[in-house]
Every structure is written in structure tokens, then in C-alpha cells.
Amino acid sequence: MNFTQSFRLALKSLLTSKMRAVLTMLGIIIGVGAVIVILSLGNGLTGMVQQQVDKMGINMIQAQIWAPGDMATPDPSDMYDVVAAHPDVLTGVSPYVNVTGVVRRGDEKYDRTHMYGISEVMYNAATNYTMDGEQVSKGRFITYLDVEHREPVCVIGAYLEQEAFHGDALGKSLSINGRSLTVIGVLKRNAELEMMEGSQDDQVYLPYTTALEIIGSRWVGLYLFTSTSGETAQAAKSVLANWLNVFFRTDDGEYEYYYITTMAEQANMINGMMSVAMGVLVAIAAISLLVGGIGIMNIMLVSVTERTREIGIRKSLGAKPKDIRSQFVIEAGTTSAIGGLLGIGFGCLLAKILETLLGGMLVQSMGTSGITFHATPTLGAIGLSFGVSVGIGILFGYLPANKAAKLNPIDALRYD
């Protein structure tokens, strides 16, 4: 008995009882569909993380410093010195000072605006992207001289320009906590996001030196470094860690009052967490595949009983046990393969729907402009799901098929 004949026979018996076939396949359809949806969403999320990394630069390093009050903390100038001393691995540093306060323009007050004190290193003129993924649309970004001279200047987000300046902010002024600043640049609007108060577009960049003055502090808790390339990021990280270890060394020993992560580490961490979450979800979906397999086994056992006479006839005509076995195994495999294909179609469709429904929200939560979310499964995921569904059919079809193969031809022929 050859394969194509068994396959055609299997298709025929599936087509003669469509309702039953669909019910048999349901578990597989749901299981495969769920796996495809999960893998598609995971793929989309990984893609977003990758885009974020690409935007911000794989060479970015974050250093947090939180030395207790009575200890000396490194100055920004110390950090500049470190960068200058290691040109082989480090190219620049920007303090990242979070300013809390109120923005005023005339009589209007904006108290949900995000304000960051940064240096010129924050912005890469070549790519027109800041380290946190913003782009300048009008005017210019903060320069070295602005920082050096504590210039009262700022770069504002599109929302603020719209609301406070009616779309024309360049050269005009606003005040932060009573200090007047001139707008020298406007950031590009984050197209995917709604322009609203407190959103990504409601923000202000100012020189960190100016920012420290405004908040009345000398202490900077967060620095963004850039390494010469993605490959040297790890080396740059150790240079910084060594320097900070020396800095924080006391007679009691060394204290790690800092936390340094490279962009690659962050991306790996996020991806690692996502793959764990996806693994758990896929495992849950796999239970449905198992149930689907048991469903197939159940129907195949019924089918073997119903077709006892047919099996007897086939045996009397010279079918060997292995012919009967392969007929039923192929039938089970075909059932689950079709179920798998339907499940893949159903999963892709559902993933597209979820992409439309959740895409905007997810992109917003990433907080970087120009990032897109595509919930499409990889070819590997599709191939794997299909393979697993065929495998399940064959695995669970084997027991009923073996039962059929072992039937005694005399009893089978006499069966009514």
C-alpha cells in the first residue's frame, strides 16, 4: 500500500464526514493557533526591542550612581576625564539629570512635562537621533558651548510647541521653576502617539549644567556613555567599573555604589525575560495540542471499530498488518496536518488582529519614535508548528492503527 493512496483515502474519509473531521481537528487547530499567536507576538516584541537598540545605539552604556550622602560622588567633570583617558573604548558621556518642576509660558502652567538635563553627547548629528530616540525637527540641539556656559536654552517636544507656542516656538522663551529659557530647537513629533500632556512629546531638554542650577544640586545620579562600537561596550563597561571602584574605595574596602549596563545587556535581559514568558505560554498552548492529540486518538479508535469489516476485507485481499497500520497512521497524520494548517492560518489571522489592536499601545510603551510592531510568525515557527501537529497525529494515531493492524481477519470479516 503506497503513501499517496493512503493519503488520498484519508482525505476522502475526512471529506465524507466534514463535521466530525473539524471536531477532531479542533484541539489541534486551537493549540497550533495559540502557539502561532504567541510566537508571532514574541517575534514582534523582539523586533521592537531590536529597533530600539538600533535607534539608541548598540554602543550606549548606562551608569547609575547613588553614593550615600556623606560620601563624595563623582562630578560630571570626573566622568569627562574618564572618557578622555580611554579614547580606545569610550567616545562620550552625557549626564542625565531629571528635573522636577513646572514649565510656565505666560499664564499657562504645565506640570506634567518631563525635563532632562543632558550634554551635547546626547545627540548624534550624523543620524539625527538622540540616545533616547528623539529627532530634531526645527532649530538645533544643545551644544558643548551651551553646556559649558550654562546657557539658558532648551529643546522642547512637539506637544509643548503646539500648546504653549501655537506651533512657533523657536527663539521664544518659557520658564522652568522660575528660570527663563530660550527655545533653540523643537523635537519631531512621535507619529504613532497621541499628542497629549505628559506624553513623549511633552518634554524639555536643557544643558545639564543649567538643570543642576535650577534644581540646586551638584549631584548627577545617571550618566549615558557611548563606546567606540558595540563590540567595545563591554570593555568600556569594565573601564568605568574599575574607575568607580577606585573612586569609592575606602579603608573598609570597595563599595559598588553604582550599576552599569550596556545596551546589549539590557536588550538581552529583556529578550531573556520575554523568551521565558513565551516559553511558559507556549507550554500552556502545548497542553491544547496534547488534548488535540488525544481527541484524534479517540476518534481513530472509534473509526477502527466502525471499520472493522473494512479491515477484514483488506486483510483477506492480502493487506499485511503494516499496510493497515500505515493506512491508519497516515489518516491520523493527515487529519492533524490539516488541523495544523488551519491552526497556522487561524493563528496568523489572530496575530494580525492583535497587532492592530495592541500595536499602538505597545509602541507607546516603548517610548521611542519610529518603532513599529509586526506580529508575524517566523518561517521556523510555522514549520515547527506544522511538524509538531503532524507528529502528534502520528504519535496518537499509532495506538489505534496498531489495534487495527492486529485484528484477526476472520473476526474482522464476520464483524457487523
Q: Which residues bind another protein (CB under 8 A)?
A: 1-2, 5, 12-13, 16, 309-310, 312-323, 409-410, 413
Would you say 212 or 319 has its CB closer to another protein? 319
Angle formed at CA 189 by CA 187 and CA 192, multiple of 5 degrees? 145
Helices (H) then strands (E): counts for the chain: 12, 15
Tell me the closest approach of the beta carbon of residue 319 to another protein, in angstroms: 5
**Cα→Cα distances 331→184, 188, 325, Å:** 72, 59, 10
Tell me the closest approach of the beta carbon of residue 410 to another protein, in angstroms: 5
For the residues of 125-143, what is the DSSP string, one character each?
TTTTEETTS--EEEE----
Would you say 222 or 413 has its CB closer to another protein? 413
Would you say 21 or 158 has its CB closer to another protein? 21
Tell me the closest approach of the beta carbon of residue 327 to another protein, in angstroms: 11
Tell me the closest approach of the beta carbon of residue 12 to another protein, in angstroms: 6
Contacts of 310 (CB under 8 A, 6+ apart): none
Would you say 230 or 409 has its CB closer to another protein? 409
Q: Compute the distance between CA of residue 302 and CA of residue 294 in angstroms, rounded to an integer.
A: 12
340, 281, 329: which is closest to 27 by C-alpha?
340
Tell me the closest approach of the beta carbon of residue 409 to another protein, in angstroms: 5
CA 236 to chain centre: 26
Tell me the closest approach of the beta carbon of residue 338 to another protein, in angstroms: 18
Q: For residues 37, 43, 49 and 54, what is the CA-based torsion angle, rounded to 10 degrees?
A: -150
Would you say 269 or 302 has its CB closer to another protein? 302
Contacts of 128 (CB under 8 A, 6+ apart): 135, 136
Neighbours of 121 (CB within 10 A): 22
Would you say 249 or 320 has its CB closer to another protein? 320
Would you say 137 or 316 has its CB closer to another protein? 316
100, 80, 99, 101: which is closest to 91 by C-alpha?
80
Tell me the closest approach of the beta carbon of residue 305 to another protein, in angstroms: 16
